[in-house]
Chain A
């Protein structure tokens, strides 16, 4: 389901191409570098996040994605380690895998996962690991669909994105970094989604750890 390659770009410090079902994104991380004067924060690492769509020019939709990704990665980065520095995190959507004008859950979740691997690849300090999954609730019987396909997604009565902060080797759920839902749902179905989402997030985290394990093996192949 999920596959990722690291170090695919030459000019940046860390990069990752992540494919998750029908969605493919490339994430690049450059930093810590010298920021522009207006970006600089006196005691912490500043973040510049750029999301570029697969088709057309960036719009408010991409701005919202940037804001959501920022909300997820700001608390997990060890920002105090790099005062007055900047990290640029860029995303290029290669395949959206969803109708872009109405949805952005799959792109968002792929971006968050790609960011995790790319930040590790860039060697910027992280306090926790994190992972994300898109979910949707289908039909009358409220069937929960983890990582829905495009046809399932547009049928769904509600769509959700869950990003969790994980600990203990990606096994233990520490906190909810982002849980965003749109559509038509109740408290009960939402909490059910949260439950299945937690399970799926842990699974995704294990996949991501495998990618990173492979990367480190490759990096130290000379040993």
Chain B
């Protein structure tokens, strides 16, 4: 009657196990002292960067006609590819009446730190083969990069000021463009004309991610940094004849003169490099903290090895589905090579983040940052 039930251990192929039990797959690897990607615990992936020759300002641009990209970067890391392109626009600033007499005063604002820094508006797109409203991940990434750029002080506000030139047409119909800062040398600044308005550039960064394979903030940030480093902003000028246009209007018995918006024209041939605050240049790295499950450890031949196994380990540069799914505690560091941190984020899920791990992650991030800086 009683049939004996035989229990046999099942074996799965590596890929199958990774899919159905990513945490087990991960723990098995860790017990071997390796990660699913076969990297060591504290080993980073290599990154390859190039400017992709997308920018209209670069000499060997592959596309010059109708191109409005001012800076670009293509970053490859593992199977992930990040393409960053910087575009820009010009906006008018509101200047208070008071500053009229003493020109525009440029001074460091002590009481509002963020007011001294310019912003870059990033839009992250993670390509998934379909279009639609941006996902939560894309929105949080964009906002985090925005916050980080603003508070790191990488782009000084003054770097985004537009030094407006004037295009004048002389009697023979020949047009020349004069810029105030270029004119200073021969002292022939047209004194008849003074701008009472101020313009600034706004920079937008479109960051496209192909084949997502792990957390993206660090890749996007590094790519954006490289792109900003080779960004060149075009010179801009207004036509002499449009400097003081007023259009009278009247409506329901009221009348006023409306000053027409200036037509600011960007020079397609003359560019200036974007002046970045290089001391604030910092690169991002990420880390994971994961508890080792003693039950999943593979049997060891050597007995005293068992005791030296720590209860949790720090992994550098999270990659792949298995790692991302089984990791709940992460650390993300933005730093330069000498330890000036710009951003730090530790999220503790179920694994405890210890002080040592934070110190260790910062140490590794510094090394990584000096490596990445050399590629610039």
Question: Does a CB–CB distance below 8 Å link A and B in the complex?
Answer: yes
- Decide if A175 touches B353 in the complex (CB within 8 Å): yes
A75 to B114, CA, bound (A): 33
Partner pick for B348 among A61, A75, A103, A154, CB 8 A cutoff: A75
Q: With both chains docked as a complex, state the minimum distance between the C-beta of B334 and any C-beta of chain A, in angstroms.
A: 9
Is the CB of B55 closer than 8 A to any CB of chain A?
no
- B350-376 to A contact mask, C-beta < 8 Å, 1/0: 101101001100100000000000000
Counting chain A residues whose Cβ lies within 8 A of the other chain, the interface size class is 35 or more
A175 to B289, CA, bound (A): 12
Is the CB of A34 closer than 8 A to any CB of chain B?
no
- Decide if B111 touches A155 in the complex (CB within 8 Å): yes
Partner pick for B143 among A63, A177, A186, CB 8 A cutoff: A63
Is the CB of B61 closer than 8 A to any CB of chain A?
no
Partner pick for B341 among A71, A179, A190, CB 8 A cutoff: A190
- Decide if B341 touches A177 in the complex (CB within 8 Å): no
- Decide if B150 touches A102 in the complex (CB within 8 Å): yes
Is the CB of A123 closer than 8 A to any CB of chain B?
no
Q: Which residues of B contact A157 (CB under 8 A)?
A: 113
Is the CB of B347 closer than 8 A to any CB of chain A?
yes
Is the CB of A11 closer than 8 A to any CB of chain B?
no
A179 to B347, CA, bound (A): 7
A185 to B349, CA, bound (A): 25
Chain B residues 256-309 with CB under 8 Å of chain A are: 280
Binds A, one of B43-51, B91-99, B134-142, B172-180: B134-142
- Decide if A67 touches B136 in the complex (CB within 8 Å): yes
Partner pick for A151 among B111, B139, B346, CB 8 A cutoff: B111
- Decide if A63 touches B136 in the complex (CB within 8 Å): yes
- A134-157 to B contact mask, C-beta < 8 Å, 1/0: 000000000000000001001111
- Decide if A179 touches B112 in the complex (CB within 8 Å): no
- Decide if B140 touches A67 in the complex (CB within 8 Å): yes
Partner pick for A178 among B144, B342, B346, B350, CB 8 A cutoff: B346
- Decide if A186 touches B341 in the complex (CB within 8 Å): yes
Of B343, B347, B350, most A-chain CB atoms within 10 Å: B347
Q: With both chains docked as a complex, state the minimum distance between the C-beta of A151 and any C-beta of chain B, in angstroms.
A: 7
Q: A64-B139, A159-B151 are in contact. Are A190 and B353 (CB under 8 A)?
A: no
Partner pick for A186 among B340, B343, B347, B350, CB 8 A cutoff: B340
A178 to B353, CA, bound (A): 10
Partner pick for B144 among A64, A71, A190, CB 8 A cutoff: A64
Chain A residues 168-223 with CB under 8 Å of chain B are: 174-187, 190-191
- Decide if B152 touches A184 in the complex (CB within 8 Å): yes
Partner pick for A175 among B139, B142, B352, CB 8 A cutoff: B352
- Decide if A187 touches B150 in the complex (CB within 8 Å): no
Give A179's nearest chain B residue, CB to CB.
B346
Q: Which residues of B contact A3 (CB under 8 A)?
A: none
- Decide if A74 touches B349 in the complex (CB within 8 Å): yes
Is the CB of B313 closer than 8 A to any CB of chain A?
no
- Decide if B113 touches A155 in the complex (CB within 8 Å): yes
Chain A residues 60-95 with CB under 8 Å of chain B are: 60-61, 63-64, 66-67, 71, 74-75
Q: Which residues of A contact B150 (CB under 8 A)?
A: 102
A151 to B112, CA, bound (A): 8
Give A64's nearest chain B residue, CB to CB.
B143
A179 to B346, CA, bound (A): 5
Q: With both chains docked as a complex, state the minimum distance between the C-beta of B140 and any C-beta of chain A, in angstroms.
A: 4
Give B110's nearest chain A residue, CB to CB.
A155
Of A64, A71, A155, A187, most B-chain CB atoms within 10 Å: A187
Can you name 9 extra interface pairs (CB under 8 A) apart from A67-B136, A75-B350, A165-B348? A74-B349, A103-B114, A155-B113, A157-B113, A158-B151, A179-B346, A184-B152, A186-B339, A187-B362
Q: Which 5 A-B pairs have the closest CB atoms?
A: A182-B151, A60-B143, A64-B143, A63-B139, A179-B346
Chain A residues at the B interface, C-beta cutoff of 8 Å = 60-61, 63-64, 66-67, 71, 74-75, 99, 102-104, 151, 154-159, 165, 174-187, 190-191
Could you pull out 15 A-B pairs where Cβ atoms are within 8 angstroms? A61-B143, A64-B144, A75-B348, A104-B147, A155-B110, A155-B113, A156-B113, A157-B113, A176-B346, A180-B343, A181-B345, A183-B152, A186-B339, A186-B341, A190-B341
